[in-house]
Structure 1
Amino acid sequence: MNNLNDSLPDLMRRATDDLEPESNDLVERGMRRGVTLRRRRTALLSLSGAGAVLATAGIIVGGSQLFAGNAAPVAGPPSTAPSTPASAQVAKPGTPTDTMKRLQRLLPQDLKQSSAKVSYERNMHHAEVVVDDGKGASLITVEVITTKPNPDCAGLHGSCTVRADGSVITSYANESIFPYDASKNPWGIKNTVVEIFHPDGRLISIRNYNAPKGDGVQHTRTNPLFSVKQLTALATSDQWVFPKEQDGPLKPKGNGKPSVPLEQTQQTLKSVLPKALQLTQPQTWGGGTNGHNGASYLVDDGTGAARVEVLVQYETPVTKCTDEGPQHCQVRGDGAVTGWSKNEPSYGDERQAVNGVLANRVELHHPDGRMITMTSYNGPAEKDEKHTRALPTLSTDQLLEMAGNPGWKFPGTGTK
Structure 2
Amino acid sequence: MPVERQYNDSDGSGERAFEVRLAAALHDAGDTFEADRGALAAGGTVRGRRLWLRRRATVLGGAAGVALAGVGGALLVPGSGSPSERPPAAVSTTPRPAASPTARAVTSDDMIGMLEKLLPEGKFGKAEGRGVDVSEPLAAPSAQVVFDDGHGPGAISVAVNRVLPGGSDARQAVQCPDKIYTPYDGCVTRHLPDASVVTVVKGYEYPDRRVDTKLWTANLVTPDGHHVSVSEWNAAAEKDAPISRAQPPLSVDQLTALAAAKEWRGVVDAIPGDPRQTQEPPVAQGDGRPVLKTLTSLVPEGLKVVAHGSDDDSEFSYVVVDDGKGRSLVQVNVQPDMSDVAKQLFGAGSETLPDGTRVAERKQPGEKGGAGVVMWTVDTIRTDGFRVVISAFNSGSQQSAATRTAPALTMKQLRAIALSPKWRS
TM-score scaled by structure 1? 0.52
Q: Specify the code of the residue in structure 1 equivalent to 2:273.
A: Q
- The number of aligned residues is 306
Pick the aligned partner of 1:180 from 208, 215, 225: 208
Deviation at residue 144 of structure 1 after TM alignment: 0.5
Pick the aligned partner of 1:143 from 137, 141, 159: 159
Pick the aligned partner of 1:218 from 227, 239, 242: 242
Pick the aligned partner of 2:408 from 360, 370, 394: 394
- Alpha-carbon distance in structure 2 between the residues aligned to 1:95 and 1:369: 48
Deviation at residue 178 of structure 1 after TM alignment: 1.8
1:261–1:213: structure 2 CA closer, same or farther, 3 Å change rule?
closer
8 A contact 2:196–2:223 mirrored in 1: yes
8 A contact 2:328–2:392 mirrored in 1: no
- Alpha-carbon distance in structure 2 between the residues aligned to 1:238 and 1:91: 18
- Alpha-carbon distance in structure 2 between the residues aligned to 1:103 and 1:206: 10
Matched, 1:133 2:157: no
Deviation at residue 228 of structure 1 after TM alignment: 2.8
State the Cα RMSD in Å: 5.6
- Alpha-carbon distance in structure 2 between the residues aligned to 1:362 and 1:181: 23
SS of aligned partner of 2:262 = coil
- Alpha-carbon distance in structure 1 between the residues aligned to 2:116 and 2:215: 20
Q: Corresponding residue for 2:296?
A: 270
Deviations 1:211-257 (A, max 9, x none): 23222333333432223332112111122121524249964679xxx
Deviation at residue 274 of structure 1 after TM alignment: 2.1
- The correspondence of residues 170-209 of structure 1 with structure 2, limited to 5 A, is 170-173=199-202, 175=204, 177-180=205-208, 182=210, 185=211, 188-209=212-233
- Alpha-carbon distance in structure 2 between the residues aligned to 1:280 and 1:365: 24
8 A contact 1:192–1:227 mirrored in 2: no
Whose helix proportion is higher, 1 or 2? Answer: 2
Deviation at residue 193 of structure 1 after TM alignment: 1.4
Q: Corresponding residue for 1:246?
A: 273
Residue segments in structure 2 that go unaligned for 5+ positions in a row? 1-51, 59-67, 73-85, 92-99, 351-357
Deviation at residue 337 of structure 1 after TM alignment: 11
Deviation at residue 129 of structure 1 after TM alignment: 1.4
Q: Corresponding residue for 2:14?
A: none
Q: Specify the code of the residue in structure 2 equivalent to 1:274.
A: P
8 A contact 2:362–2:377 mirrored in 1: yes
- The correspondence of residues 398-413 of structure 1 with structure 2, limited to 5 A, is 401=415, 405=419
Pick the aligned partner of 2:118 from 106, 119, 127: 106
8 A contact 1:318–1:365 mirrored in 2: no
Q: Corresponding residue for 1:293?
A: 315
1:217–1:318: structure 2 CA closer, same or farther, 3 Å change rule?
farther
SS of aligned partner of 1:124 = coil
Deviation at residue 95 of structure 1 after TM alignment: 3.0
1:164–1:227: structure 2 CA closer, same or farther, 3 Å change rule?
closer
Q: Corresponding residue for 2:27?
A: none
Residue segments in structure 1 that go unaligned for 5+ positions in a row? 1-30, 50-89, 255-259, 322-329, 349-357, 412-416
Q: Corresponding residue for 2:44?
A: none
Pick the aligned partner of 1:95 from 87, 102, 106: 106
Q: Specify the code of the residue in structure 1 equivalent to 2:252.
A: V
Which structure exhibits the higher relative contact order, with contacts defined as CA atoms closer than 8 Å and separated by 6 or more residues? Answer: 1
Q: Corresponding residue for 2:31?
A: none
1:390–1:404: structure 2 CA closer, same or farther, 3 Å change rule?
closer
SS of aligned partner of 1:212 = coil
- Alpha-carbon distance in structure 2 between the residues aligned to 1:245 and 1:294: 35
Q: Specify the code of the residue in structure 1 equivalent to 2:213.
A: I
Q: Corresponding residue for 1:55?
A: none
Q: Specify the code of the residue in structure 2 equivalent to 1:394.
A: A
Q: Once the two structures are aligned, what percentage of the paired residues are identical?
A: 21
- Alpha-carbon distance in structure 1 between the residues aligned to 2:229 and 2:293: 36
- Alpha-carbon distance in structure 2 between the residues aligned to 1:374 and 1:34: 13
SS of aligned partner of 1:246 = coil
- Alpha-carbon distance in structure 2 between the residues aligned to 1:286 and 1:92: 38
Matched, 1:35 2:46: no
1:366–1:194: structure 2 CA closer, same or farther, 3 Å change rule?
farther
